[in-house]
Amino acid sequence: MKAILITLFIYSFLFIQTQQQRDDVDRTTEIARIGSETITLGELIDNFKINQTEEQISRDELVEFLPSYIEYRLKLKKGFKYEFNKKPDLLEEFELYGRQAAEIYWMENEIKQQMIEAFIERSNYELYAFHILIEVPNQATVDQEKEIMNRILQARKDLVNGIDPNEVNATYSSVRNGNYMGGQLPWITAGRTVEPFEDALFSLEVGEISEPVRTAFGYHIIYLQNKRERSPDRQVSHIFFQDTEESLASEKAADVHQKLTDGLFWYDAVETYSMDRNTIANGGLIGWVGYAMQFPEPFVDAVMAKNPSEPFSEPIEMPYGVHIVRIDSVRNYPSEEARMEEIVRELERLQRLNPSEDELIEALKSEGNFTLNQTIIDSINSADPNSVIISFNEKEYTVNDFSLFSEVNDSDSDELLDDFIQEVVLSHLIDITRSKFPDFDAQISSFLNGLVVFRINEEFIWSEDAPERSALEQFYAENKENYWFDRTFTYFSVSAFEDSIITKAVDFVENGVHPKDLSEHIEEINVRRFSTSNSNNPGFDLIENIDPGTITEIQISGVRHSFFFLNSVEEPRQMTFDEAFSRVVNDYMPIQEAAFINLLKSEFGVETFPENIQI
């Protein structure tokens, strides 16, 4: 039960909506008092909203909610008096689920937003670049990787020294199907290449040459040659021509262009003359055209050069044929919100909106001013145990802290420092999140309070040891009529996949062998025992009408053959107190809770002023 409540908390607090209330509500109005503590109308409204989805709330709803909230506050006050909020096991639980909640909060409210904003910024530009690419074989050895790295670094050195990129490409880039894998790239915008390559490309200034970049294709060196504002994608339809034995594509295109000029309807021209059979049914529509898509760059250049207001273009000659194009639309957005929705859809399509824990750690490092003393790290085996190796979030971590961490962790030596850094950073996750996000701070405080109240309920209300036994016995005596065993049938289900086996089982039972002993005589037999008063159990409708010690007819369901044996029937009877104990405790719980609340009211003192609830 607790796990369900905690899971609901982790996800629900991220999506609480802020309801609109009248501006003239006085949130400081006192509506209750517990001892010397004042409960205000604003506090009541805020706590009521937590589990509400409606934008408006009424006075009647708040008045009805007030007693429940008072009970919650009383239990919380009792929990803090007992210092449940300081108990190690409760704090450990708080830390575990608080970390999960904080991680989700960062992902949803910070890191994803940064990803979206970065993608939007990149989408405003197109970059023109040249790259060198050396392919890495599958399962490359360490020596092979080292050799490739040396070659790619030499390629970078040649580019820096001014050697022509095409010459560097021919010298170093891998060759596949007779073509260099590196070379000149088309204009590229966000989302048009693999993410590591894009990240490196957009980090460069014009004229800058990257360090080696690893992608699934191998190692790249990227040379950024130019940058410009993005040309919006254009939705294009076309009429396409290729040379035939009867005519040249250019002559046919010129003839159709003249017919269009003379008034031929576009769709008729497409249907009659276009040689692109895949687009004829859609009026020649080839879709959105932009740089770094599937279209040749010279074709994209020609499309981008056309005036969208013109009904159709002049013939556009390409090495593979001739197009007449029509610009159907230029991509734009009716609002910034629509653009944002499109960006999010694109990031989800690219599977780039899934922040990793590494990205979370980097964000936390930045927020907490993380510094690493590399000098101490390099000589850590001989360093003073009190030397500081990490400063983070106003706290210092020493060589001794790292040594203690290494003693209880089995990480590979190369990963031990990274694991230590990760543990240090994540240990501050909740504190940093509370400091940065006031909304989270309020909600995580409520979560801790909820754990305290849950512990109060466990110990003083829900526990079977909470009520006095005498009180339970009295409650049982006053409500005996509620505690009965129904008529109970104990029976056996006997089944097999072959008719001969089930028939053999019937013979054994009719000759005095009890079903529970059948497996000693027949190997391929399945026997199950039931003891129930539930009519939904299998075979119940068959056994309730036979006598104990007898069997039903053989039942056939698919390939399974079965029968039921009624062992005994226990008539309805009243439960003893011990037999009914768990049910009695459960039924008594509301009384126990009401008595406990009354004790808390007497202990702390409660006054309520529902007449002050005015909204």
What are the tens digits of pLDDT across the range 497-545? 999 999 999 999 999 999 999 999 998 999 999 998 888 888 888 998 8
Q: Of the CATH numbers 2.10.25, 3.10.50, 3.30.70, 3.30.1490, which one belongs to the domain with range 484-574?
A: 3.10.50
pLDDT of residue 2: 55
More confident residue, 326 or 463: 326
% of residues, the chain, pLDDT over 90? 82
More confident residue, 465 or 160: 160
pLDDT tens for 144-166 read 999 999 999 999 999 999 999 99
| Band of residue 3 on the pLDDT scale cut at 50, 70, 90 | low
* Per-chain mean pLDDT for the chain: 92
Provide mean pLDDT across the span 556-566.
Answer: 93
pLDDT of residue 55: 74
How many CB atoms neighbour CB 211 within 10 A?
Answer: 11
Q: Which amino acid is at 289?
A: V
pLDDT of 557 strictly over 80: yes
- Domain ranges (residues) in the chain: 125-229, 234-330, 369-427, 484-574
Nearest alpha carbon to residue 486 among 570, 548, 413: 570
Residue with tokens 């960006």: 343
CATH 3.10.50.40 describes domain 125-229: yes
Q: Which residues contact 249 (CB under 8 A, 6 or more apart)?
A: 241, 242, 243, 317, 321, 322
CATH 3.30.450.40 describes domain 234-330: no
pLDDT of 87 strictly over 90: yes
Rounded CA-CA distance 179/295 in Å is: 19
Residue 220 near residue 132 (C-beta atoms within 8 A): yes
pLDDT of residue 4: 45
pLDDT tens for 247-265 read 999 999 999 999 999 999 9
Rounded CA-CA distance 420/380 in Å is: 14
Q: Do domains 125-229 and 234-330 have the same CATH topology?
A: yes
pLDDT of residue 19: 41
Q: Which amino acid is at 36?
A: S
| Band of residue 268 on the pLDDT scale cut at 50, 70, 90 | very high
Label the pairing between strands 484-485 and 573-574: antiparallel
pLDDT tens for 224-245 read 999 999 989 999 999 999 999 8
Rounded CA-CA distance 106/82 in Å is: 33
% of residues, the chain, pLDDT over 70? 95
pLDDT of residue 284: 97
| Band of residue 576 on the pLDDT scale cut at 50, 70, 90 | very high
Q: Which amino acid is at 511?
A: N
Rounded CA-CA distance 173/244 in Å is: 39
Crossing angle for the helix pair 357-367 and 429-436, to the nearest 10 degrees = 60
Measured at the alpha carbon of residue 401, what is the angle toward residues 395 and 405, in degrees to the nearest 5?
Answer: 125
